[in-house]
Amino acid sequence: MTQGIGIAGAGAFGTALAIALGRAGTPVTLWARDADHAARMQQTRRNAARLPGVDLPESVTVTAEIADLGGLDAILLAVPMQALAGFLADNRAVFDGLPLIACCKGISLQTGTGPTAIIAQVCPASAAAILTGPSFAADIARGLPTALTLACADRAAGARMQALLSTPVLRLYRSPDTTGAELGGALKNVIAIASGIVIGAGLGDSARAATMTRGFAEMQRLAKALGAETETLSGLSGLGDLVLTCTSEQSRNFRFGLALGRGQGFDAKVTVEGASTARAVAKLARAREIDMPLTTMVAAVLDGNCTISDATGALLSRPLKEE
């Protein structure tokens, strides 16, 4: 008999997953860092700030006590990528030994690794997985059909997690290639920023299409160098997520790029994982001598080392070559 699913992080995505699983009848314990926020959600049955108009099912319990996540069947980690290592280290006694599924996308600035490597290092007794792919929290919360990749190197553990987390409208495809799934989810955010810059700067949809295509080539290049299966990048966690985030203003990374392209400010409270990822990957690409011009230019623009105009000129003046 299932003990239920725990979700660490009551932001938009964590709450949306709680709603989706709760609607399917799964007992869910949703942990919120702020006690007042947790009490308000438990009482009102809504996350009004992040997902207005959507109610929490009765099978979802909101708590601010991290110990309430202990002993459950699996834990979804819906915390920011750059905070993941510290969060797991602080709560190792609760999590180590439980199946842990990362729901964050990015590369750690500190370690240069993805979330499953961090899980394996901090909680070595846990089966480590990542849930990633083309999805907006609002769509999941509304019950719209969504397909995601669940990547876990342990095939048996991955199959158990797939069965636990799939619902009639949330379809999970299983993969053993955690590296490829992580890189797809992380790198598409960088290309989404670049695509937003292109549109924000008025360079047009044709330029955006070229940015997406050449960005996808960069994603595959790095994935191959790091031992991932390039086929993984052609699936939901790579190409699928890339298309979604480069073409919709629901994407925080795309909106961030739009603001950059227009010379506008952006809400500092909004987490933009692609910004940290661009810096981490640009550093990694330099160290391994991997050609990633778009990623390098995004990092340079973010760090103020290059203007958008200069970046555009540098990319367009690169030597001509075969595709």
Distance of CA 319 to the CA centre of its chain: 34
Average pLDDT on 112-129 reads: 96
Query: Are 237 and 180 in contact, with CB atoms under 8 Å apart?
Result: yes
Cβ burial, residue 262 (10 Å; 0-12/13-18/19+): middle
pLDDT of residue 2: 67
Q: Using one digit for the tens of pLDDT, what is the confidence trace for 211-244?
A: 999 999 999 999 999 999 989 999 999 999 999 9
The side-by-side arrangement of strands in the sheet containing 170-175 is 60-63, 28-31, 5-8, 74-77, 100-102, 128-132, 146-152, 170-175
Average pLDDT on 255-268 reads: 96
The candidate with the shortest Cα–Cα distance to 17, out of 160, 156, 172, 128, is: 172
Type of residue numbered 195: S
pLDDT of residue 112: 83
Mean pLDDT of the residues in the chain: 96
Cβ burial, residue 204 (10 Å; 0-12/13-18/19+): exposed
pLDDT of residue 323: 87
Q: Is the pLDDT of residue 103 over 70?
A: yes
Q: Using one digit for the tens of pLDDT, what is the confidence trace for 49-95?
A: 999 999 999 999 999 999 999 999 999 999 999 999 999 999 999 99
pLDDT of residue 197: 98
Q: Using one digit for the tens of pLDDT, what is the confidence trace for 275-302?
A: 999 999 999 999 999 999 999 999 999 9
Residue written as token pair 């990623």: 295
pLDDT of residue 271: 87
SS3 60: strand
SS3 128: strand
Residue 67 DSSP symbol: G
Q: Which domains does the chain have, with CATH numbers?
A: 5-176 (3.40.50.720), 186-316 (1.10.1040.10)
pTM of the model: 0.93
pLDDT of residue 164: 96
Q: Is the pLDDT of residue 152 over 80?
A: yes
Q: Are strands 146-152 and 74-77 parallel, antiparallel or unpaired?
A: unpaired
Q: Which residues are the active-site residues?
A: 188
Name the helix (H) or strand (E) containing 273. Answer: helix 273-288
Helix, strand, coil abundance in the chain, percent, nearest 5: 55, 10, 35
Q: Using one digit for the tens of pLDDT, what is the confidence trace for 153-195?
A: 999 999 999 999 999 999 999 999 999 999 999 999 999 999 9
Model confidence band, residue 151 (pLDDT cutoffs 50, 70, 90): very high
CA torsion 149-150-151-156 (nearest 10°) is -140
Average pLDDT on 132-151 reads: 97
